[in-house]
């Protein structure tokens, strides 16, 4: 018989605890607190960003009351009354100098003042602080009105005078017997024998002339000469002499042969001019063909100098214009000549025109002073005029346009299209685009050019976004 079950009697509080469901895991309450803290921090950060953005875009009124305004040089629309960074490009904001207008207003005033000067496409005005101007080492110069002229400098090369250049050849074939000019560069005189040539053709013609001359003399000595016989002898003599002349035999050589009554076996080849042998193709014992050039002799008492000038300077040069030549071979020595010819064709590759100048050539114990192949500096004396000039480094030349940067008050630099005229030593003539007395940038203009292009691109993008 089983024992009866016994029940322990519990209080109402103990029964409630025993019947309640199990509680949440440990740490849940802590995670809940952390989550709410993060939500609160996110809300604070968002509120701060909104307030900062509103302060940046609407702080101009507060800046006006405080007297200090900071702006971004790259984004003029970003203005605030305290230092900081641009929210767009993170560039440090710059303090606007007191009395300086805002960029938009200043740009409008600049465009009004220079209404007659066209702007440069793709470039915008640039505002720089004195610190940045000093940092980039900028230099400026004023536009001046001064005398333009003086001389035009270019490079010249000495060449032989073609009018004094002689090529010596023969009209008959044969063989060279002797050479009296041993090397190229030797000086020769007019009429000097350079070589002797044996030619069977010439030798036969000489014998015919001697025979015809003898017949003519015999016919003239007869007491009663027959008219037909005498006319035949005289005509035969004249024809034989003419044949030698057509073969290139000099008249003095023919007269000498008739005087001696002997036909020489070798014909002398003489120089027709005074000068220097600049080419020699003759070799003793070598056969010679009609028309072959044996010697080339150059008369260097006058020489030519060829020089190239740019297309923009063509209108400033004329025939007869005085010129000076300074050679590298003779430092400090100047030769005086003139322009004798202007070539009719402009070189399509270099866009230059060739000039020909003529100079008298002095000689000393070492030979001529001006030798073909020498080069030096040519100065052309130009008529003097007046015009506006700026340093050459002030002009930025892209190949299609020329422009420079004009310095305004308050650190503003405005790009200005210009039309360039004559090029001087270290200056250029400005035909239009600037006025006398204006200040232009000479050193550092390429840095300003880069910032101006960037500013123009950003402003163009901003205007497109607003539209």
In a domain, 175, yes or no: yes
Is 8 contained in some domain? no
* Spacing of C-alpha 126 from chain mean position: 30
Distance, CA of 424 to CA of 406 (rounded, Å): 21
Q: Is 405 exposed, middle or buried (0-12, 13-18, 19+ CB in 10 A)?
A: buried
At 129, list the tokens.
């602080």
The tokens for 242 are: 């003419």
Q: Are residues 277 and 170 in the same domain?
A: yes
Could you tell me if residue 11 is inside a domain?
no
For residue 420, what are its two tokens?
């360039």
> Do residues 285 and 173 both lie within one domain?
yes
Same domain for 357 and 394, yes or no, is no
Which has the higher per-residue pLDDT, 97 or 101?
Answer: 97
Mark whether 172 and 289 lie in a shared domain: yes
Q: Are residues 410 and 318 in the same domain?
A: no
Tell the residue number behind the tokens 């073609």, with chain if given: 162
pTM of the entire predicted model: 0.55
pLDDT for the residue 101: 42
**Do 68 and 111 lie in a common domain?**
no
Closest to 322 (Cα-Cα) out of 276, 239, 400, 382: 382
221 in a domain, yes or no?
A: yes
Give yes or no for residue 61 having a pLDDT over 60: no
Closest among 456, 450, 452, 414 to 434, alpha carbons compared:
414
Determine the average pLDDT of the residues in 87-97.
Answer: 75
Q: Which is it for strands 94-95 and 139-142: parallel, antiparallel or unpaired? A: unpaired
Mean pLDDT, to the nearest integer, of 363-385?
87
Domain count, the chain: 4
pLDDT bucket at 354, cuts 50 / 70 / 90:
very high
pLDDT at residue 224 is higher than 60: no
User: Across all residues in the chain, what is the average pLDDT?
Assistant: 79
Please give the torsion angle defined by the CA atoms of residues 90, 95, 100 and 106, in that order, rounded to the nearest 10 degrees. -10
CATH number at residue 459: 2.40.420.20
Within-domain flag for 21: no
Same-domain status, 157 and 303? yes
Mean per-residue pLDDT, 114-133 = 76
Residue 108 confidence class, pLDDT cut points 50, 70, 90 = very low
- Does position 56 have pLDDT exceeding 70, yes or no? no
Region 109-130: mean pLDDT is 67
- In contact, 391 and 405? CB cutoff 8 Å: no
pLDDT at 100 over 80: no
DSSP 418: -
What is the spatial distance between Cα 237 and Cα 221, in angstroms, rounded to a whole number? 15
With cut-offs at 50, 70 and 90, classify the pLDDT of residue 54.
very low
What pLDDT does residue 196 have?
A: 93
Q: Give 453 or 357, the one with higher predicted confidence.
A: 357
Q: Examine the domain organization and report whether 217 and 171 are in the same domain.
A: yes
* pLDDT class of 129 with cuts at 50, 70, 90: confident
Mean pLDDT confidence for 432-456: 88
How much of the chain exceeds pLDDT 90, in percent? 34
Residue 339 near residue 356 (C-beta atoms within 8 A): yes
Res 64 pLDDT > 70: no
Domain boundary among 383, 409, 430: 383
Cα angle 108, 111, 113; round to 5? 110
**Domain presence at residue 7:** no
| Residue 175's CATH number | 2.40.50.100
Residues 310 and 274 in one domain: no
Note whether 184 and 248 are same-domain residues.
Answer: yes
Res. 345: pLDDT tops 80:
yes
List pLDDT tens digits, range 270-293. Answer: 999 999 999 999 999 999 999 999
Q: Do 379 and 422 fall within a single domain?
A: no
Q: pLDDT band for position 365 (50/70/90)? A: confident
**Residue whose C-alpha is closest to residue 411's, from 108, 130, 106:** 130
pLDDT of residue 46: 59
- Grade residue 240 by pLDDT with cuts at 50, 70 and 90: confident
DSSP result, 219-269: HHH-SS--HHHHHHHHHHHHHHHHHHHHTT--HHHHHHHHHHT---SEEEE
Per-residue confidence (pLDDT) for residue 40, from 0 to 100: 72
- The more confidently predicted of residues 112 and 257 is 257
Of the residues 383, 409, 436, which one is the last residue of a structural domain? 383
Domain range for 246 is 166-295
Residue 2 falls within a domain, yes or no? Answer: no
Domain boundary among 244, 263, 295: 295
Average pLDDT, integer, range 339-352: 93
Residue 10 counted as domain residue = no
Residues 76 and 124 in one domain: no
Name the burial class of residue 285, with classes exposed (0-12), middle (13-18) and buried (19+) by CB atoms within 10 angstroms of its CB. exposed
Point out the least confidently predicted range of 79-88, 188-197, 305-314, 399-408: 79-88
């Amino acid at each position: 018989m089983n024992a009866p079950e016994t029940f322990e009697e519990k209080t109402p509080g103990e029964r409630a605890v025993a019947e309640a469901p199990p509680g949440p895991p440990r740490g849940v309450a802590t995670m809940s607190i952390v989550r709410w803290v993060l939500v609160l921090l996110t809300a604070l950060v968002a509120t701060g960003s909104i307030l900062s953005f509103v302060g940046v875009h609407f702080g101009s009124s507060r800046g006006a009351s405080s007297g200090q305004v900071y702006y971004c040089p790259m984004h003029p629309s970003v203005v605030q009354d305290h230092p900081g960074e641009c929210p767009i490009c993170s560039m440090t904001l710059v303090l606007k100098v007191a009395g300086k207008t805002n960029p938009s207003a200043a740009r409008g005033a600049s465009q009004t003042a220079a209404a007659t000067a066209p702007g440069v496409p793709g470039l915008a005005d640039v505002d720089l602080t004195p610190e940045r101007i000093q940092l980039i080492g900028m230099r400026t110069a004023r536009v001046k009105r001064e005398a333009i002229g003086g001389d035009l400098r270019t490079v010249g090369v000495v060449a032989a005078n073609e009018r004094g250049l002689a090529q010596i050849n023969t009209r008959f074939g044969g063989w060279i017997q002797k050479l009296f000019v041993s090397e190229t560069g030797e000086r020769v005189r007019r009429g000097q024998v350079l070589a002797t040539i044996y030619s069977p053709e010439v030798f036969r013609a000489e014998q015919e002339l001697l025979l015809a001359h003898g017949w003519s003399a015999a016919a003239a000595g007869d007491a009663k000469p027959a008219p037909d016989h005498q006319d035949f002898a005289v005509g035969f003599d004249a024809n034989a002499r003419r044949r030698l002349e057509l073969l290139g035999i000099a008249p003095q050589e023919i007269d000498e042969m008739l005087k001696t009554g002997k036909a020489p076996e070798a014909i002398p080849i003489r120089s027709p001019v005074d000068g220097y042998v600049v080419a020699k193709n003759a070799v003793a014992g070598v056969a010679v063909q009609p028309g072959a050039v044996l010697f080339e002799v150059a008369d260097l008492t006058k020489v030519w100098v060829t020089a190239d000038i740019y297309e923009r300077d063509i209108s400033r040069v004329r025939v007869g214009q005085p010129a000076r030549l300074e050679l590298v071979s003779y430092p400090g020595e100047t030769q005086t000549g003139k322009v004798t010819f202007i070539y009719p064709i402009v070189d399509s590759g270099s866009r230059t025109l060739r000039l020909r100048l003529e100079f008298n050539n002095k000689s000393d114990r070492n030979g001529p002073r001006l030798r073909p192949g020498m080069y030096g500096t040519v100065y052309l004396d130009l008529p003097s005029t007046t015009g506006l000039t700026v340093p050459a480094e002030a002009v930025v030349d892209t190949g299609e346009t020329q422009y420079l940067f004009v310095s305004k008050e308050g650190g503003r630099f405005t790009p200005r299209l210009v039309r360039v005229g004559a090029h001087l030593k270290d200056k250029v003539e400005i035909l239009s685009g600037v006025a006398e007395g204006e200040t232009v940038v000479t050193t550092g203009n390429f840095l300003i050019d880069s910032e101006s292009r960037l500013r123009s691109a950003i402003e163009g993008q901003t205007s497109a976004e607003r539209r």
